[in-house]
Every structure is written in C-alpha cells, then in structure tokens.
Amino acid sequence: MARRIKIPATKYPVERFTLANGLRVVLTPDRSAPVVGVAVVYDVGIRSEPEGRTGFAHLFEHLMFQGSENLEKLAHFRHVQGAGGTFNGSTHLDYTDYFEVLPAGALERALFLEADRMRGPRLTEENLLNQIDVVKEEIRVNVLNRPYGGFPWLRLPPVMFSTFPNAHDGYGSFGDLDSATVADAQAFFDRYYACGNATLAVAGDFDVATATEMIQRHFGDVPARPAPPLPDFAEPDLTSEKRDAYTDRLAPLPGVASAWRVPDPIGDFDNYLPFVVLAEVLTDGDASRLVERLVQRDRTVTSIGGYIGFMGDEFQVRNPTAMLIQAHMPPGGDAEKVLRTVDEELDRLSADGLAPGELERVQARIATHLLRDTDAVLGRALPMAVLELQRGRPEMLNELPKLVGEVTEAQIVAAAATLRPERRATVEVVPGAVA
C-alpha cells in the first residue's frame, strides 16, 4: 500500500500553426485507430451574452447547424452521418465548441463543413423560430420536467455572483429566447465568430502534411476578422456567507450545494491545481473523506460529489470559477448538519494533514481518469482546441497527469484551509414532491 505506483504519461505529438487569417490550428496525429476527431472552438460563451438575451450563446450554437453558404438546412447532419460520423456542439461559460468524429477517410469533408459555417451560417426567421422551439424542449427535458433540473449549475451562480455575466441563467428565460431576432444572431456572429477568435484541432488517423494542405485549402479563404478584446469577468470574493433555498416541486429528497471561489485557473494555475486534487480527496469514491464520513459513518447524505467549475470543466474554464460540493440527503435531511460536517472535515484536513498514501492513491486515480479521456480522438481534439484557445498550450494535455502527481500535501492542506464558511455560497433544494 505504501509503495507508490508510477504515474504514466501520454506522448501525443502536437503540431501548431496559425493561418494568415488568424485561425489557430492544432494537429495531433495518432494512427492507432482509423478515425479522426475535428473540433472548432470559438472564444465566446454564456458569460458574453448580452443582458436581455439570456440563453443566446446556446441558441446561437443551434443556429450554427441550420445551414451555411453551401449547405442547406439539414445538410450538415446528413453529410457527417452519411460519412459514418457523429457530431455535436456545446455551449460553456467561456467557449462554444463544435465537433465531429468520423472514419479517417471523411476528414476533408468535416473540414469543409466547419469552414463553410465559419464563413457564415444561414440565419433565417424560420430556422430561428424552429430552434427556439427545440431549445425550449431541451430546457423542459433538462430543467423543468425533471427533479433537480439545473441543480446546482444554474442555481448556484446567482447566489455566488453579483454581475450579470457570471450570475445569469445560461439556458435562458423563455421570454428572452422568444425576443431573439435574426439581427441579434448576425451581430453575435459578426462580433464573436471571427476566425481570429477560434481554434481548430484535428486528432487521429491522418498525415500531418496532407491535413495541413486540406486545412489551408478549406479555411484559408475564410475572411480575416480580428478577435474582440477578451472580457474581464472578475468579481471580488465573498466576505460573508450567501445562502438561498428554493422548492423543487418534482424533487422527493432535499439537496444542498456549496461553492467557494478558487484561484484563477489560467493566471494562477499553480495555486489552482491543488483544488482539483482536493475535490477528489474529499469526494472520489468510498475511501474519500466526505463519502466515508457523511455517507457511510453519519449517513446524513445519500450521495455527495465535489468538482471544479460549474460545468465540471476544470481545465477549460476561466476566472472567476469555484469549487463545488453537492449532496443529496435522505428524507428529512438537514443541510445545516451536512455543512457543519463538511467544515469539520476541512478543519481536520487543515489541522492534521493527509493520511499516509492518501494523496498518492488519489493522484493515481485522477491520472487514470485523465488518460482514459484522451483515448478517444475527441478527448484529444476538444481539450487541445480549448487549451490552445485559452492558454496557447495544447501540449498541456500530455502533462496533466504528471502535474497532478506533483501536487504536494502542503498545497492540499493550504487549499483546504481557504474553504471557510464565510467565503461560501450555498443553495438548498427543498423537496416539493411527496416521497
């Protein structure tokens, strides 16, 4: 048990270049399976949408699939799937991604499709109204028609933050969605979907020279438009605890989630990384501190989890962000008691440090998770595109297991000591359904 397992590393090659129009490109070839992943990431997300237009970044993501210069509505989906591939897109706080995974022989087709919509989507009234309906159904499925919808990712930010970019509902209100216009969409595209504000990453089974030539051919004539200035969304830290509670009429059990601000994930990475490890020390599996204490010993919670970033994207989020702990309780559960116990465990960690082997085993498990994610071509293309966009360092994907392995006990203890009740934002779910 004391003997420490060696944390291995990946050696995915990384080629970077920038086209004349400003598009940044990352290539990471790997011939071990005949598939490719293509990711295009734009440096705009939920935090950048205008007031009165909550949910707009996500709605716009849908509009990027509705046709472009050479593609009718439905054509994008048919061309990807008709090549044996899959596609999707997703909207995050700080970026929006679009991606395909395909058999290797369809690489050029995917590049063509992405370049075509980078030149400009077909924004029509009919498609806008259709996708507003689709997005409303998405919100009903994921938030309104199920228990714990939006808990805590939509419920905690308004408690923790006070400025619109950080605090508002990223899925959007139906009123704001209904108010969206084609002109809004065109303005959003013009401002944020510039090729200077985007990265392209390709992972998998391809030849670098061939892919470089294809990328030049398809993206080279996308008109150069500069990136807008990078906004600063910084807010001061909390100085006293903030609390909220709401009744979820579909929820049968009480829930609670707390968040604490953490250091800038990019500007202060060395002090940020220990929190990533701390979250796992606290909540990863039956041998973690909070699971052992709250689930098994006290039985005050039925499940508990901890992670960084409201969308769980710890290496793909900018400042300000937070470490979250969320728990579901048995019927009649007491959130106060759970929070007090979390505080006790954090105090114990700060005072007594870690047990022998505790840090090493958590680091080994994190390494497995990180390595496992990179086995899929998309698990390389997507994070490398975001790492290029936000840090100019896509090769960091190879380094993460080792960097996690270098976090020290002293850093974990120091991180835990910052998670004080007065810096905490908390939201409680009051069950409104009869269990």
Q: Which parts of 154-213 interact with another protein (CB under 8 A)?
A: none
Per the DSSP assignment, residues forming a β-bridge with 326 are 257, 305
Min separation Cβ 67 and another protein, Å: 11
| Least Å from the CB of residue 351 to another protein | 21
Provide the minimum distance between the beta carbon of 126 and another protein in the complex, in angstroms, as a whole number. 10
What sign does the dihedral 44-47-53-59 (CA atoms) show?
positive
Longest dimension (CA), the chain: 64
Q: Are 293 and 341 in contact (CB under 8 A)?
A: yes
- DSSP letter at 376 equals S
Taking the complex as a whole, how short is the minimal distance between the CB of residue 333 and another protein, in angstroms? 9
Contact present, 176 and 244 (Cβ < 8 Å): no
Of positions 13, 226, 312, 330, contacts another protein by CB under 8 A: 330
How many residues bind another protein (CB under 8 A)? The answer is 91
Instruction: Identify the residue among 243, 368, 408, 410 touching another protein (CB under 8 A).
Output: 368
**165/204 with CB nearer another protein:** 204
What SS3 state is found at 29? strand
- Secondary structure (DSSP) of 208-262: HHHHHHHHHHHHTTSPP-PPPPPP----PPPSS-EEEEEEETT-SS-EEEEEEE-
Q: Which residue has the tokens 């509670």?
A: 245
Smallest separation (angstroms) from another protein to the CB of 280? 9
Among 114, 169, 176, 284, binds another protein (CB under 8 A): 284
Q: Which is nearer to another protein, 348 or 372 (CB)?
A: 372
Least CB distance to another protein at residue 404 (A): 11
Residue 364 found at the interface with another protein (CB under 8 A): yes
Q: Is 28:88 a contact under the CB 8 Å cutoff?
A: no
- Tally helices (H) and strands (E) across the chain: 16, 11
Q: At 99, phi and psi to the nearest 5?
A: -155, 160
x/- string (CB under 8 A) for another protein, residues 4-43?
-xxxx-x-------------------x-xxxx--------
Beta carbon of residue 338, minimum distance to another protein (angstroms, whole number): 14
- Using CB under 8 A as the binding rule, whether residue 130 contacts another protein is answered as yes
| Residue 267 touches another protein, criterion: CB under 8 A | no
Which part of the chain contacts another protein (CB under 8 A), choosing from 265-273, 325-333, 342-350, 391-399? 325-333
Distance CA 361, CA 363 (A): 5
Closest to another protein by CB, 159 vs 335, is 335
User: What Rg do the C-alpha atoms of the chain give, in angstroms?
Assistant: 23
Residue 411: count other Cβ atoms within 10 Å of its Cβ.
Answer: 18
Q: Hey, which residues between 132 and 151 contact another protein (CB under 8 A)?
A: 132-138, 140-141, 144-148
Report if residue 361 touches another protein, rule: CB under 8 A: yes
* 55-93 core/surface letters (b: 16 or more CB in 10 A; e: else): bbbbbbbbbbbbbbeebeeebbeebbeebebebebebbb
Asked if 277 and 286 touch (Cβ cutoff 8 Å), the reply is no
Q: How far is the CB of 214 from another protein (least distance, A)?
A: 8
251 near another protein (CB under 8 A): yes
Which residues 212-231 are close enough to bind another protein by CB under 8 A?
218, 221
Q: Is the Cβ of residue 148 or residue 310 nearer to another protein in the bound state?
A: 148
